[in-house]
Structures are given as structure tokens and as C-alpha cells.
Structure 1
Amino acid sequence: MHKVNSRFHNVVVVSIVGVMLIPILATFVYSLSSRWGATVLPESYTLDWYRQLLTDPRFLQAFGRSMLICILSLALSVAVILPSIFVVFYYFPRLDKLMSLMILLPFAVPPVVSSVGLLQLYADSDVSIVGTPWILVGTYFTIALPFMYRAISNSFHAINIHDLMDAAHLLGASSLRAFLFIVLPNLKKGLMASLFLSFSFLLGEFVFANILVGTRYETVQIYLYNMRQTSGHFTSALVMTYFLFIFILTWLASRFGRGVQ
């Protein structure tokens, strides 16, 4: 009976995965085809669409902008959230539940509502950041906080921070030195997992980028939206390139996250 249930579960899982892979495989084949009309399979195959994409200066600039915004946002998130979590777990452990609740507030408001609010807030402000990448950095910073807090806090739960800090103090290390050279290395897996996961999520964000900056600072998602009316083969190549990059980031996040409890 157990073998029958196991086989049934395997069949169900394989069937679901197969159904999910069909559109991805179809998009990939379409991106490699030069013509695909009334035939079941493409009439011929080519890599010209990928060659056009990877040599398109507009795509390379959009990809570079997305990378820059994500890196700046995550660097700011690490600089803020890592010391904050350390203070909470070491000095005020009872605040962990409150922090876990408050850190989810960025998801309590829909992106469209948040974007309209940000536009109204900074429209008449002396600080002119609407339409610039800086407003995206600040917005993405808040989006990345929940992902980073959960992954890093799980790493803090997995280590005995008080024993590590007490041992470091007995050996003459200051709190700052103990944090940098003892606590931080033990958080490496959780930190890397949160970075890759947050990066893959931010790279695919469209609503904030479209409303707050639009074509004034074209990112990968805005580029994909603007190129939707071009050749379907070219768009498929763009989607598959983006999907491959996201898949690699997700795989890296999963690999680093295996050791995080």
C-alpha cells in the first residue's frame, strides 16, 4: 500500500512539473525558431534573436540600471537590518515578535497605492527624486527588509549569540569586534540566502518601477514591457534570458539557505 501511494504521489508531482514546464519549453523553442507558423515544430532554428538581444545597447543599459538599483537597495538593507537584528536578539530578545510583525508592513499596502502616495509626497517636495533611481532605491529597500529579516533572524535563532558574545568578551574582544569577527561569519549562509532571494524578487519588480520612474530610468522590466510589440521571437529570447538569470539567483538562494534553520 505504501508503494502504491508513493508511486501515485510521484506521478502527481511529475505531472504537475510537466504541465508547468510546457509553456517554458514552448517559449524557449519559439525563441530559437526563425519561423514557426502552421507546422507543429519550427521550420528552422537560429540564435539570431539572442545575438540581437545581447548586443542591444538599450537592453544592456536597462540590465545595468536594474543591477545598480538592486545592489544599492540591498547594500542599504544590510547596513540597516543586520545591526538592528543583532541589537534585538542580543539586548532586547522580547522585541523579536514585534519586529517580525512590523517588518511585514511593506506588504500591507498594495504597490499601486504606495506608488501613488510616494508621488503625492514628493511631487511638491524640495527634494526632487520622482523619476530618478533614488526613489526606487528607497522603495526597494523597504521591500527587501522582510526577506532579509526572516532569513537572518533564522540564522540568529540557530546560533547561541549570548554564549558567543560572552566568550569573545572573556577573550578581550569588544562587542563590535565580536560581532564582526565571530557573529557575522556564523550568519553567512542566512545573509547570502536573503541577498539572492531579495535580488531575484527586486529584479522582477514592475509596478513601482513603471509608476515611479517609467521610461525616464528604464529597467529590465520596463524594457520588457516596452518591447512587447516587437517580434515575438525577440521577446521570447528576452523572457528566457531573464528567466535563466532569475533561476540561477533562486538556485543560489536555495543552496545557501539549506544550512539555515
Structure 2
Amino acid sequence: MSRANQLYHRSVVWLLLLILLLPLLGTLLYSLATSWSATILPSGLTLKWYGALWSDARFLTAFAQSLLVCAGALLLAVLLILPLLFVVHYHFPRLDGLMNLLILLPFAVPPVVSSVGLLQLYGSGPLAMVGTPWILLGCYFSLSLPFIYRAISNNLQAIHLHDLMDAAQLLGASPLQAALQVILPNLRKGLMVSLFLSFSFLFGEFVFANLLVGTRFETLQVYLNNMRNSSGHFNSALVISYFSFVVLCTWAASRLNKDRT
């Protein structure tokens, strides 16, 4: 490729990147503006909107509750999926195709349709969980399955599970010791990547949180929706704070993936 073609392609990429970043940069500038109405640029810059946001007890509660339900769902997914994956790949490899089909079911049904069914199923009776974090925990658990299952499954295939298990047992390790001391350390980075990516996705989930729990267990996305009629500067600071946190999680996942490769 000639130098002119390289320059052209790079210019197109940077131009597209600039176009994608312009709304975000405008939101960032608005979150830092004291006022911005009749002028091209804001009349002044301030951090008071971020101070107001991070001193808001309702925001901090919503942020903590989002962290709690996302972390709980991911912990539950790891505790259930990791042993299941090991058993499937080591003892029943033919079931892998069926498992790949089953874990895609959460994405086959639209969230609104799933929410209506869950409202009817768990809205009353002995398993009435609508309005509680438990139903949200179950929904987030199902949404995280495809990410975690696919990442760990690929990792297990890459490390040659049967060869490592046979080698460890030939050296005197029990199956449990081989799984915990040989297989699990080799899955650490792949597991961390899947957790960070799943967390970034779950942290921004809105439909299930809004329809199933709403303000009774207010998550960050529900809080953002409820504050849409407040100050635009305040909302811009909220959007930038949320976006920065998600970018940080995604960056951590990409760094782990880069180290692994």
C-alpha cells in the first residue's frame, strides 16, 4: 500500500472517530459548563455539577445497588457455570453443542416480552419477587451466561483440558487437585475478561430493572431515567460518570485479553 493510500485510510478512520466522539465531547463540555445558552462556547467551567452528583445520596445508593446486583449475578454465574463447563468438556463433550444453543435463549426473547412473562409469573403467589433485587439477580444471571460460557469454553478448548488432566493425574494429583491447581489457574485471565465484559453489559441494562423493580430497588439506569427532567448539566455529569466507569471496565478487560494473547 502506498503512502498516499495509507494517509487516506488513516484520515478516514480518524474522521469517523472524531464524528463518533463529538457528541460525547459536547456532553463532557456541557457537564463542566457554568451556563451555556446563547454562545458558541460555555461562559465558564466548573466542577460543581460533579460535586452535586457525587454528593447525592440517591445517586450513590443507585450506584451501589447496581454494583451489588451485577456482582451478585456474576458470582452466581461463575459458581454454577465453571463446574458445569468442566464436567461437559471433560466427561460429556457431545453436550457442548446443546449447551451453546441453550445459553443463547436469553437473547432470543426480547427483554420486554420476558419482563411481561416474569411479571405474571413472579408478581404474586409464593414466589412473589417483583420489586425485589432477587428477580433482577436472576435476570442478570441469565443475561451473563452467553458471555461467560462462551469465553470459558473457548479457554478450555485452547488449553487442551484432557491432556492437562491426564498429565496431572499421572504425576499423582487427584481429579479435584488437578482441576483446582492446574486447570483453574489457566482459566483465570479468560474468566476475568468475560466477567469484565459481562459487567459492562449488565451495568447498563435498563429494561428489566425498570419494569421489574423500578424505584423500589433503583439501579443507576433507572436513576438516570428518573432524573431526565432535572438540570441538563447534572444529567451530563451523570452520563459522563457512567460512561467513564464502563470504559474503565472495558479497558481492564481488553488489557487482560492482550496480556493473555
TM-score range, shorter chain: over 0.9
Deviation at 1:153, TM superposition (A): 1.2
8 Å CA contact 1:74–1:144 kept in 2: the answer is: yes
Is the deviation greater in 9-18 or in 239-248?
Answer: 9-18
1:151 is matched with 151
What does 1:1-261 align with in structure 2 at a 5 Å threshold?
1-258=1-258
Structure 1 gaps of 5+ residues are none
Residue identity matched to 1:186: N
8 Å CA contact 1:151–1:260 kept in 2: the answer is: no
Is the deviation greater in 81-90 or in 197-206?
Answer: 81-90
TM-score where L is the length of structure 2: 0.97
8 Å CA contact 1:158–1:260 kept in 2: the answer is: no
Is the deviation greater in 168-177 or in 209-218?
Answer: 168-177
Structure 2 gaps of 5+ residues are none
Distance 1:233 1:75 in 2: 36
Equivalent pairs counted in the alignment come to 261
Residue identity matched to 2:220: V
> Deviation string for 1:62-84 (max 9, x for gaps)?
01100110011000000111111
> Deviation string for 1:95-143 (max 9, x for gaps)?
2222222211110000000000001111232122110000000010000
Distance 2:259 2:94 in 1: 25
Distance 1:194 1:239 in 2: 24
Distance 2:98 2:200 in 1: 27
Residue identity matched to 1:7: L
Distance 2:8 2:98 in 1: 43
Distance 2:152 2:6 in 1: 35
Q: Percent identity?
A: 61
8 Å CA contact 1:155–1:260 kept in 2: the answer is: no
Distance 1:167 1:95 in 2: 24
TM-score where L is the length of structure 1: 0.97
> Deviation string for 1:4-42 (max 9, x for gaps)?
332222111111100000000000000000110111110
